[in-house]
Amino acid sequence: MSKRRRTEIEDDGDYTEENRTPLAEDSATRESSPSAEDELRSSAIVSILLRMVMTRSARNQKIRREHFTAILHKHNVKGNTKAIISQVDAELKEVFGLKLDQSTNDIVLVSNLQKDTKLLLQKLVENGDGSEFKGNPYDTFYFMNKEKRNETTVSMSDSIFGGIIMLLIGLVIVNENRIRESDLLDGLSQFGFSENLNIVVPNLNKTTQEVLTEATKKEYLQKLVAQAHGGEPAIVSYALGKRTLREFDAHTLLEFLNEIVEQEELKPKCIETVKRCFPDDTFENSASGNNVQS
């Protein structure tokens, strides 16, 4: 089989493969039956579409139906586009625990794991083996972290960013789903962040401004800009984004808020805010212990 030369992202962000068809014609393929060829070809197309979806999602690029259509057209694949997208969705669920949310014009890659499974993964991440490297005090790298890398953690920066996202979501909910940028920065400063948007966040190598921009781009937050009058600067506020409302449920957010919000007088406000954001959910009222039916 000839070596593949591929270009992951072009100017329009589409995944392309140059000088290669989905199936290289080797001897094994030529000798296979027509039905086996069709199955293999379908599998190859699904793999190409999977790479496109994962690549665009990792780069915070939008995923639309036309991106699937363009790849299918390039490889001369005819058929029901909706059915092929369903095949990709099924593969994502089975292999990665992800799914394609097609509730809007854009297709979004979100988690498909149940709450119990997420809790199990959390325990796996938190309960590392705790083993350490034995260091030589005269070694140049003696003062570096001695703990072994947790094999269940793919990227430490991603873990840190995920924690910051949860903190941002919590601050927005505490402020009834509408918080000015200045108040948000003030809230972050209480957790060790600098109020200066250009200061780099430790262990993340991103400034606070870049963190807010990425959270907005990934639709965890929604940025609201109100134009001021009389030459005053615009008023920037933040609310919960579409992705937060898709990926989380009311019960999970209330459990999280119950852990970080110590003031009892704020908890009823949090419950009412979550109730407004998730009107179709049934969840436990953390303040009174009663079930709340929206």
Quick one: angle between helices 81-91 and 65-74, nearest 10? 100
Say if domain 37-111 classifies as CATH 1.10.260.40: no
Positions of CATH 1.10.10.1200 in the chain? 37-111
The residue ranking higher by pLDDT, 24 or 93, is 93
d(CA 5, CA 28): 22
pLDDT-derived band of residue 118, with 50, 70 and 90 as boundaries?
confident
pLDDT, average across residues 262-273? 88
Q: Report the candidate in 19, 97, 20, 11 with the shortest Cα–Cα distance to residue 54.
A: 97
- Give pTM, 2 decimals: 0.63
Res. 3: pLDDT tops 50: no
Q: What is the pLDDT of residues 136-178, one digit of tens each?
A: 655 555 555 555 555 555 567 777 888 899 999 999 999 999 9
Positions of CATH 1.10.10.1210 in the chain? 156-277
d(CA 198, CA 29): 56
Long-range contacts of 200-206 (CB under 8 A, 24+ apart): 201/164, 203/156, 203/157, 203/160, 204/157, 204/160, 204/161, 204/164, 205/157, 206/161
pLDDT-derived band of residue 114, with 50, 70 and 90 as boundaries?
confident
DSSP codes of every residue in 87-121: HHHHHIIIIISEEEE-SSSSBEEEE---HHHHHHH
pLDDT-derived band of residue 224, with 50, 70 and 90 as boundaries?
very high
Specify the pLDDT at position 148: 55
pLDDT, average across residues 101-111? 80
Strand ranges (E), the chain: 5-7, 16-18, 98-101, 108-111, 179-180, 200-201, 206-207, 221-226, 235-240, 282-284, 291-293
The residue ranking higher by pLDDT, 12 or 73, is 73
Whether residue 206 contacts residue 214, with contact meaning beta carbons closer than 8 Å, is answered with yes
Specify the pLDDT at position 286: 42
Q: What is the pLDDT of residues 32-77, one digit of tens each?
A: 455 666 777 788 899 999 999 999 988 878 899 999 999 999 988 8
Q: Report the candidate in 219, 208, 217 with the shortest Cα–Cα distance to residue 248.
A: 219
Specify the pLDDT at position 216: 93
CATH of domain 156-277: 1.10.10.1210
